[in-house]
Amino acid sequence: MLTFEEPFYFVLLALVPLLMFLKHRWKGRGGRLSFPLGVWEGQRFRPGIAGMRLVMATSNLALWLTFAFLVTALAGPSLTRQEKIYLNAGADIFIVLDESPSMAARDFPPNNRFTAAKDVIRRFVQGRQNDQIGLVSFGRDAALRVPLTLDYTYLLKRLDDLQVMSLGDGTALGMGLALAALHLQDSTAPQRVIIALTDGVNNSGEIQPSTAVDLIRSLNIPLYLIGIGTNAEVPLEVTDPKTGMAYSGTMEDGFNEDFMKSLAVPPLGAYFSAGSSGSLESIFLAIDSRETATKRVKVEVHNDPLFGSLLVAALASLGLFFVLRKLILKEIL
Amino acid sequence: MSFSNPEVFWTLLLLIPAGLLLYTSHLKGRHELLRIGGAWRGHRLQSVYLLKGFFSGLLLLLTFLLLIAAWAGPSWGRAPVEEPEDGLDIALAVDVSRSMTSTDVPPSRLDQARDVIRMLLSAFPSARFSLVAFEGIGVTLTPLTPDKGVLARWVDELGPNVTTAPGSNLADGLEEALRTVGYTSVHHRVVIFLSDGESRDGNLLAAARKAAAAGVEIFALGFGTAEGGKIPDGDGFLKDDFGFPVQTKRNDGTLKMLASETHGRFFLGADRASQRELQDLLSNLANPASRGGVGLQPVPRYRVFLFLALVTLSGFLLVRIVPWKEVF
């Protein structure tokens, strides 16, 4: 929105019509010499200098625009914008994502499990405000991809970069959960949450999921575990990012749902089963509605001043007036 | 008095041809008035014309001068402003170009920078940090995070190999650092810029102004010596196309500009007293309550110059309009 810091300066615009009258209409004005170029009581002599008249009109316009720009700049125009500032810390959320080869199973048409999971995580992140989010992924091993941050742009870029099998062939769910807990343990946020997405049983890593869950419970962190996929036979296509080798086939073995239910027990967390993109989306919405930290917000008004552009415009129009008068019209005063 | 855009004073050079044009126009006017007025009226016209020409020319040039001065962004004095910020968000922008491997400050410029970062990480446990490394481009190694463990690991990894674009683009490094702290927060936001100041690419001044507009202060730390040093390369030193060892020197001018544009400070990175001073300054910023939640900001004074320009422009017109001695 356009506002003015000192609008009373617009009073100075009253000078413009006064000066215009004195310069163009006042009969007693100086700075000119009169010559009788017409016949006594006859018609006035009007030389055919239409081009010069145009130049003169342009130069006058430039002069009065200079005044208008100067007065407007004095009034301090600025564009105001409102910004929401959070006065307290939000929740700290760690997302733990399975990168094992089975995540390439194509039972979330037109996507595979991994792409569907990434899409839902992306929408979840875009819907958060003032919540620090971190990202851990796991295959045969687990890795911290993004530490807790409010920099969602960076987080989403790193999420996009994730690939199935980049951490090897395996499902180190316990390692992934433990790593997230480790990076959440020093958090002083009013709410801490771990959301894990996996499609298989733990078959890799030095830490068992139950051990990791004990650690998470000891830190009083809610764990939401989402089992992705179905037990049905599904096609699978995967390319090993390290070797470039492509694999394809069908996958039958599902996940051990009972085991996963035992890991995430209410009230400190919950297990969800996602067999389709729609259900995955609704699970995230359910988690979203559960984890709502109280947010104290203030709205700050910022002014982006515009006087600089008007100043440059004033300089340009005054320069144009000067050049037209001295170089084209050859004015001597 | 200080100016936020002092480089616009270069446009004052345009006043020289403008003054010459006014002078030649005046000489021509004198000659023509004598021809028009004739012997009995010409001298009287000339005496008025001399005064009017002098004052109108002077007032017009003064108008240009005042407008350019206002454009340069003058400010003097400092006014108290409320500082609601609580806590610190620090973007660490580290130069990892090959010149930073120079050993003119042992063990190397980059090792000295690493030590400063480690000192800051331990001195401000409740602050959030981001880490950006830059050579030809700026790369975020860690986004703004309270997780010091991750930051400490990346500090150990800092070196010319962390980015794939060779060069020395300080502007891109600063832009990326600004991006990492580029959202509204109650925290005070600063960039700690660790470099030897050798800049070959990018528009650093524009990036610094962007920081100033966003209210981010830059504390620039210079590493290396003014005398300079050679750049290690394998068992020897890096050589130029003619086979001579490349000499790299600390460029304080670039770093001081960054600091002054954003009302920050320049420090010698390897100097212990400077490091303590930086730590004290950041502690002060982290706790606004210690200074009553009030900070001082320079007061812009462009209006004074604009108003005077309006007066001189009106004067320029009135000198022409008002007839003198009933002549013209």
pLDDT digit string (tens) for B228-243? Answer: 888 888 777 777 778 7
Q: How far is CA B106 from CA A207, B93, B111, B223, B235, in A?
A: 43, 21, 8, 11, 17
**Omega before B143 cis (within 30°)?**
no
**Contact at CB, A315 and B67, closer than 8 angstroms:** yes
From the list B83, B75, B95, the residue with the least C-alpha distance to B289 is: B83
CB neighbours (10 Å) of residue A161? 9
Residue with tokens 């108003």: B307
- Give per-residue pLDDT as tens, B30-64: 888 888 777 777 777 888 888 899 999 999 999 99
Structure tokens at B221: 């730390």
**Omega before B107 cis (within 30°)?**
yes
Per-residue pLDDT at A292: 65
Strand arrangement of the beta sheet that strand B294-300 belongs to: B2-3, B74-82, B294-300
Which residues 6+ apart lie within 8 Å of A198 measured at CB? A96, A98, A100, A171, A173, A225, A226, A227, A228, A255, A260
Per-residue pLDDT at A48: 63
Distance from C-alpha of B296 to C-alpha of B288, rounded to nearest angstrom: 12
**Radius of gyration of chain A, Cα coordinates, nearest whole angstrom:** 36
Three-state DSSP string of chain A:
CEEECCHHHHHHHHHHHHHHHHHHHCCCCCCCCCCCCCCCCCCCCCCCCHHHHHHHHHHHHHHHHHHHHHHHHHCCEEEEEEEEEECCCCCEEEEEEECCHHHHECCECCECHHHHHHHHHHHHHHHCCCCEEEEEEECCCEEEEEEEECCHHHHHHHHHHCCCCCCCCCCCHHHHHHHHHHHHCCCCCCCEEEEEEECCCCCCCCCCHHHHHHHHHHCCCCEEEEEECCCCCEEEEEECCCCCCEEEEEECCCCCHHHHHHHCCCCCEEEEEECCHHHHHHHHHHHHHHCCCCCCEEEEEEEEECHHHHHHHHHHHHHHHHHHHHHHCCCCC
Per-residue pLDDT at B175: 94
Cα angle vertex B95, ends B274, B152, to 5°?
Answer: 75
* C-alpha torsion angle, residues B40, B45, B48, B50 (rounded to 10): -110
Which residues of B fall within a CB distance of 8 Å from A312?
71
Q: Chain-wide mean pLDDT for chain B?
A: 87
Distance from C-alpha of A15 to C-alpha of A182, rounded to nearest angstrom: 71
Per-residue pLDDT at A169: 84
Which residues of A fall within a CB distance of 8 Å from B45?
33
The answer, for A74 touching chain B at a CB cutoff of 8 Å, is yes
Per-residue pLDDT at A19: 93
Which residues 6+ apart lie within 8 Å of A154 measured at CB? A146, B140, B143, B180
Distance from C-alpha of A173 to C-alpha of B167, rounded to nearest angstrom: 42
Strand arrangement of the beta sheet that strand A297-305 belongs to: A2-4, A77-86, A297-305
Instruction: Name all contacts of B155-161 with Cβ < 8 Å and 24+ positions apart.
Output: B155/B114, B155/B117, B155/B118, B155/B121, B155/B131, B156/B114, B158/B94, B158/B96, B158/B110, B158/B113, B158/B114, B158/B133, B159/B96, B159/B101, B159/B110, B160/B96, B160/B97, B160/B98, B160/B100, B160/B101, B160/B135
Per-residue pLDDT at A46: 66
Which residues of A fall within a CB distance of 8 Å from B303?
6, 74, 76
- Give per-residue pLDDT as tens, A32-72: 777 666 667 777 666 667 788 889 899 999 999 999 999 99
SS3 B296: strand
Buried b (16+ CB within 10 A) or exposed e, A26-36: eeebbbeeeee
Pairing mode of beta strands B217-222, B265-268? parallel
Q: Chains A, B: CB contacts under 8 A, how many?
A: 141
SS3 B90: strand
Per-residue pLDDT at B136: 87
> Confidence class of residue B287 from pLDDT cuts 50, 70 and 90?
confident
CB neighbours (10 Å) of residue B301? 16
Per-residue pLDDT at B169: 86
**Predicted-complex ipTM score:** 0.72
Among B24, B50, B55, B150, the strongest candidate for a mutation testing the A interface, having the largest count of A CBs within 10 A, is B150
Distance from C-alpha of B158 to C-alpha of B223, rounded to nearest angstrom: 15
Mean pLDDT of B308-318: 95
What are the phi and psi torsion angles at A229 (to 5°)? Answer: 105, -175
**Contact at CB, A147 and B142, closer than 8 angstroms:** yes
Candidate ranges A168-172, B137-141, B168-172, B320-324; pick with highest mean pLDDT: B137-141
At B231, the amino acid letter reads I
Which residues of B fall within a CB distance of 8 Å from A318?
63-64, 67, 313
Per-residue pLDDT at A171: 86
* Tens digit of pLDDT at every position of chain A (333 positions): 889 989 999 999 998 999 999 998 888 888 777 766 666 777 766 666 778 888 989 999 999 999 999 999 999 999 988 878 787 778 899 999 999 888 888 888 788 889 989 998 998 899 888 889 999 999 999 999 999 999 999 999 999 999 998 888 888 999 999 999 999 998 888 889 999 998 877 777 788 898 999 999 999 999 998 888 777 777 778 788 778 888 788 877 666 778 888 888 888 888 888 777 677 777 777 777 776 667 777 787 878 889 999 999 999 999 999 999 999 888 888
**Contact at CB, A22 and B70, closer than 8 angstroms:** no
Among A154, A156, A161, the strongest candidate for a mutation testing the B interface, having the largest count of B CBs within 10 A, is A154
Per-residue pLDDT at B233: 80
From A201's Cα to the closest Cα of chain B, the distance in A is 29
